Amino acid sequence: MGIDNTMLPLYGLGVLVTRPKQQAGFLCTWIENNGGFAVCCPTQLICEPRDRGLVSKYFNKLNRYSLVIFTSTNAVAYSLPTIQKIGGIPPLLEIAAIGKATARTLSQFGIDQCLQPPFNSGSEQLLAMPRFQNVRGQSILIIRGEGGRTLLADTLTERGAYVYYAAVYRRECPTVDTSMLMSHWLNGKIGVAVITSIESFINLFNILSPVGRCYLRGTQLILISDRIKQIAHEYGCHRVLVTKEASEDAIKEALLELIV
């Protein structure tokens, strides 16, 4: 006897997933398995950095740092394989993660102990931890993507630390054919859009036609931070729900809450 899809929790819900292609698969599969309709439209490409040699220079000197901070799951995925090939993380080196999702990705590479904010993810939450109040004279390496926020480095520098960047990946806006996406919106098949970064939101807005932007403004958005919410409001999107934390589990919970 087959499964009655009408009994599944997301039955009839169309979800636009804008995460990078390599990160969208598990969420899209979960949506489909729970009766929803996943529309995968990556609005951000994750690519190799422009200068991989410069990155390697930092990784060959990890024992010179007091602390290494990973700012995203991509920062882990694009750095740990290289670090492990050249000897791994020095045993006495402190590791910090920007949040739970990044910490979980570190654990996949065998790093189970790391500093992380106790509640929400983010630079502000990490900087509020006791460990980061007295960093004068310490050398700190921030592993991240090219560009992005400078709050973490600026604050640690103000507190007396010597801060260095290793940009292990870069973000680009992909070329997207939005005709299928527009068709789904026109036919009322998209009820929710999941957006997990400011760059993804802005890229989506820019690749849409004026009509598509109207559809976006009328769509319920699930966002993972108040910073993205602020940008969404500035672009005229006010139907927003911010997840409890920046994780895939929190996104799933938010989708289920919309149905209840």
Domain presence at residue 99: yes
Number of folded domains that form the chain: 2
Does residue 192 sit in the same domain as residue 159?
A: no
Does residue 35 sit in the same domain as residue 119?
A: no
Residue 1's pLDDT band, with cuts at 50, 70 and 90, is very low
Domain that holds residue 246: 5-44+177-199+215-259
- Helix extents (H) in 34-176: 52-59, 73-77, 80-85, 100-108, 123-127, 151-158
Domain presence at residue 126: yes
Find out whether 76 and 144 touch, Cβ atoms under 8 Å: no
Domain presence at residue 84: yes
Is the pLDDT assigned to residue 33 strictly greater than 50? yes
Mean pLDDT of 211-232: 96
Does residue 60 sit in the same domain as residue 147?
A: yes
Is the pLDDT assigned to residue 5 strictly greater than 80? no
In angstroms, the CA 38 to CA 33 distance is 10
Does residue 88 sit in the same domain as residue 139?
A: yes
Looking at 19-28, 52-61, 221-230, which range is the least confident one? 52-61
Phi-psi sector, 18: left (phi>0), alpha (psi -120 to 50), beta: alpha
Taking only the tens place, the pLDDT of each residue in 42-67 is 999 998 888 777 777 889 899 999 99
Give the position of tokens 């410069």.
54
Find out whether 15 and 31 touch, Cβ atoms under 8 Å: yes
Taking only the tens place, the pLDDT of each residue in 111-150 is 999 999 987 778 999 999 999 999 999 999 999 998 878 9
> Residue 119 is part of a domain; what is its CATH number?
3.40.50.10090
Q: How does DSSP classify residue 60?
A: T
**Please, which residues bridge with residue 143 across strands?**
70, 166
Backbone angles phi, psi at 68, to 5 degrees: -120, 130
Backbone angles phi, psi at 171, to 5 degrees: -105, 140
In angstroms, the CA 12 to CA 14 distance is 6
Does residue 72 sit in the same domain as residue 134?
A: yes
Residue 3's pLDDT band, with cuts at 50, 70 and 90, is low
Strands 192-195 and 220-223 turn out to be parallel
Task: Say how many C-beta atoms besides its own lie within 10 A of residue 47's C-beta.
Answer: 14
Domain presence at residue 205: no
Is the pLDDT assigned to residue 227 strictly greater than 60? yes
Mean pLDDT of 2-16: 84
pLDDT at 51: 76
Does residue 238 sit in the same domain as residue 130?
A: no
Taking only the tens place, the pLDDT of each residue in 140-196 is 999 999 887 899 999 999 999 999 999 999 999 999 899 999 999 999 999 999 999
At residue 45, the 3 state secondary structure works out as strand
Short-list 230, 235, 185, CA closest to 211: 185
Is the pLDDT assigned to residue 78 strictly greater than 50? yes
pLDDT at 140: 97
